[in-house]
Amino acid sequence: MRNDAKKIMSTELTIIRLHDPIKKAFEVMQEAGIRHLPVIEATGKLVGMISDRDIRRAMTPKPGSEISTWETSSVEFNPAHKVSDFMSWPTRVISEATPLTEVIRKMLDEKLSSLLVTARDGKFPRGIITTDDLLLKLLELLESEEGGSPIFVDSLKYQTFPS
């Protein structure tokens, strides 16, 4: 059985547009409970990635508070700042057929916490692989070796089952 990017990628992508306010990216990440947002232009073409670390660079503490949490009440954003001002580019991408060993090597070598998975054209995102996805796969493998209660990973959601 071949282990490739398509087998473990998350396919429910939450995206943001290039010219959206940075505050919107913050709010979307908080609401969805995620740390990475693919950035697209008006045509839907992938142009970058914005992470929670990028968002933190845009935060300003409200008077009398510190940026120690992601609480909306303790931070503010310059309304003129757009996603394009803080996103990372060029976006690191892999194809759906990339073996997991290559995915892991690329993430380690380039110190990446996520990679976008694209169709063969490399322009339109099909999914995302994060360090969380890889750790869940590792946990699944270790638990199945130990005879424990395995975690069943499907491409959309992760669930654990009590022993």
pLDDT at 150: 47
C-alpha angle 111-115-117 in degrees, rounded to nearest 5? 160
pLDDT at 157: 47
pLDDT at 64: 73
At residue 105, the 3 state secondary structure works out as helix
Tokens coding 36: 């990475």
pLDDT at 46: 85
CATH superfamily of 5-153: CBS-domain (3.10.580.10)
Q: What φ, ψ does residue 122 adopt, rounded to 5°?
A: 75, 5
C-alpha angle 66-71-75 in degrees, rounded to nearest 5? 50
pLDDT one digit per residue (tens) for the chain, 163 residues: 468 899 999 998 899 999 999 999 999 999 999 999 999 999 888 899 999 999 999 998 887 766 655 566 678 899 999 999 999 998 889 999 899 999 999 999 999 999 999 877 666 778 999 999 999 888 888 888 766 554 454 444 444 444 4
- From the list 139, 138, 131, 136, the residue with the least C-alpha distance to 158 is 136
- DSSP code, position 67: S
pLDDT at 63: 79
pLDDT at 146: 67
pLDDT at 161: 45
Tokens coding 27: 């709010």
At residue 70, the 3 state secondary structure works out as coil
